[in-house]
Amino acid sequence: MDFGFLYHAFGTVMLNPMNFFFVFIGLTAGIMVGALPGLTATMGCALLIPFTFGLPPVQGLLMLLGIFCGGIYGGSISAILIRIPGTPSAAATLLDGYPLCQKGMGGKAIGMSTVASFMGGTTGALVMTFLSPQIARVGLRFGPPEFFALAIFGLGMIITISGRSLLKGIISCLFGLLITTIGFDPLSGVPRFTFGSRDLLGGVTFIPALIGLFGYAQVFRNIEKMQIVPAVKAKVENILPTLKEIRSVLKTIFKSALMGTFIGSIPGTGCDIAAFVAYGEAKRTSKHPEKFGTGILEGVAAPEAANNGATGGAMIPMLTLGVPGDAVTAVLLGALTLHGLQPGPLLFRDHLDVIYPIFAGMIMAQFILLIVGLSGAKFFAKTINIDRKILTPIIFFLCVVGSYAMRFSFFDVGVSMIIGIIAYFMEYYEYPASPILLALILGPMAEGNLRRSLIISRGDPLTFFKRPISATFIVMAIIIMITSYYRIKKAMEKEA
């Protein structure tokens, strides 16, 4: 690491107002894209790539980085206000964000999400700046058994996000896992549960499923309650969390941010897994786990710090190995290629003139995020006071557009509506939706790597315990599952 050069690069990037402008544009666009259900940071980046052709590579990349960070943050706004995660990574945020909003603290929840995103994002960006090559080497030690163990570790979080009944949470999770088995199976080369449909060959696509689970289900609930439940007129109070509030969640934020960065840095995992793991861990170690899910700031801070930390983390394998950390970085990788830069070990050696400005841009993006987020929070929070008779059709419309726009497919619109109807009835009978989502994220990772590991070990299941990293994750998963189960059970008994 050449500190003089690094310092110089930071200086040139940060002092050039044009760079500031491009990050700002990207970030604002990212927040909007992220907040709209169905439009994700991945899509925002993909759509913007052609516009970066005319720019020098560094400025084009800065704009895309802005979208990335803004998009991941923006998802939390709709999660908090209308209980629909704008991006998958905000799905953990709604667990406490929406209850907060119902208490009339929507503004404050957004404020907290902004501060947590800023701190998490900065942590991730700093780790990326100083430790990229080292962390990339750890990532390489993740083979199929490790990925399987990590997926199990993540699936263990259903205990903390299941709500009142663990059994119902597990049933939800299994339902999600079943959905992930639909489609062409790349391991055996045969289609499963497609019934000859070409559209189902690729399986149930993730974003339409997300829109169904949270978007349509919420629309149906709104319609149901429109006449009975009187609308609460929420006052948009102070957005800025007080110093006391920040101090009380500071430890959670940093722990979540570091966990998020690490999880993001493993190739193939992303911001969404990071958010769920951080939420689960915050709940498990909290002094008052029973309060999670009822609307507390900690429950917003943990996933938001983690998913923005993961943005920096996900950049690490992309820049050092040419392996995308998640879906967004896969698009960024394409963008770098189109600008004539091949990400990989050589980029890190020969193109520090691009790498360092990327670092600087990532850090700059966090500060702009803080400013834009806090100044916009009040405005966003006001949407909650829109009459439900007007808001609900708008959300419905966004759901249709969002599920269509992912890949211009009416089939997906149908899929997401069907899932929405199922999800509505499941929630009606108190089967939580979040475990389904967690299963959709982790199911393919768990299944594929379980089978891959067993192929490599020629059928020996002990392979998961013979390797230190995978053994550690599995043992940790078991310990965490047992302790959270008892802690939460105890806390709930005390409450009852």
Partner 1 sequence: MLKKIGLMFTVAAVMIGFTVTNGIAAKFPTKDITLICPWSAGGGTDTIARALVKNAKKYFGVNVNVVNKTGGMGAVGMGSVATARPDGYIVGMITFQLSTFRLMGLADLSYRDYSLIQLVNRSPASMSVDAESRWQTLKQVMDYAKENPGIVTVGHSGAGGGWHLAIASIATVNKVKFNYVPFDGAAPTRTALIGGHIDLATTGIDEVLELYKAGMLRILAVNAFERHPLFPEVPTIAEAGFPNPSPIFDWRGLGAPEGVPEDRMEVLIKGFKQCFEDPEFVKLADQLGLPLVYKDPEGFEEFLAGMEETLEPALESVGLLKPIE
Pick the stretch among 105-113, 289-297, 320-328, 486-494 that binds partner 1 (CB under 8 A). 320-328
Q: Is the C-alpha dihedral spanning 464, 468, 471, 473 positive or negative?
A: negative
Residue selected from 167, 227, 340, 390 as contacting partner 1 according to rule CB under 8 A: 340
If the CB atoms of residues 46 and 364 are measured against partner 1, the closer one turns out to be 46
139 token code pair: 């990532």
Q: Which of these segments, 102-110, 252-260, 389-397, 451-459, binds partner 1 (CB under 8 A)?
A: 451-459
Contact (Cβ atoms closer than 8 angstroms) between residue 94 and residue 79: yes
The one among 14, 49, 174, 469 contacting partner 1 by CB under 8 A: 49
- What sign does the CA torsion over 447, 452, 455, 456 have? negative
Q: Does 455 help bind partner 1 (rule: CB under 8 A)?
A: yes
Tokens standing for residue 256:
């979540």
Query: Residue 171 or residue 454: which is nearer to partner 1 going by CB?
Result: 454
Query: Closer to partner 1 at the Cβ: 3 or 408?
Result: 408
- Confirm if 49 and 64 have CB atoms less than 8 A apart: yes
Among residues 100, 438, 493, which one has the least CA distance to residue 298?
100
For residue 182, the surrounding DSSP H or E stretch is: none
Longest dimension (CA), the chain: 65
Among 70, 268, 361, 432, binds partner 1 (CB under 8 A): 268
In the complex, minimum distance from the CB of residue 123 to partner 1, in angstroms, rounded to a whole number: 25
Number of residues that bind partner 1 (CB under 8 A): 59
Q: CB under 8 A: which stretch of 2-10, 87-95, 171-179, 316-324 binds partner 1?
A: 316-324
Residue of 19, 28, 40, 42 interacting with partner 1 (CB under 8 A): 42
Q: Concatenate the DSSP letters of all residues of 186-228 into one string.
A: TTTTEEES-TT-SGGGG-S-HHHHHIIIIIIHHHHHHHHHTTT
The span of 30-38, 340-348, 389-397, 477-485 binding partner 1 (CB under 8 A) equals 340-348
Closest by alpha carbon to 98, among 298, 387, 301, 295?
A: 295
Which of 110, 41, 108, 27 lies closest to 270, judged by CA? 41
The footprint of partner 1 on residues 216-255 (CB under 8 A) is: none
Site residues (CB under 8 A) for partner 1? 42-43, 45-46, 49-50, 53, 140-144, 183-191, 198-203, 205, 267-268, 317, 321-324, 330-335, 337-338, 340, 342-347, 349, 407-409, 448, 452, 455-456, 458
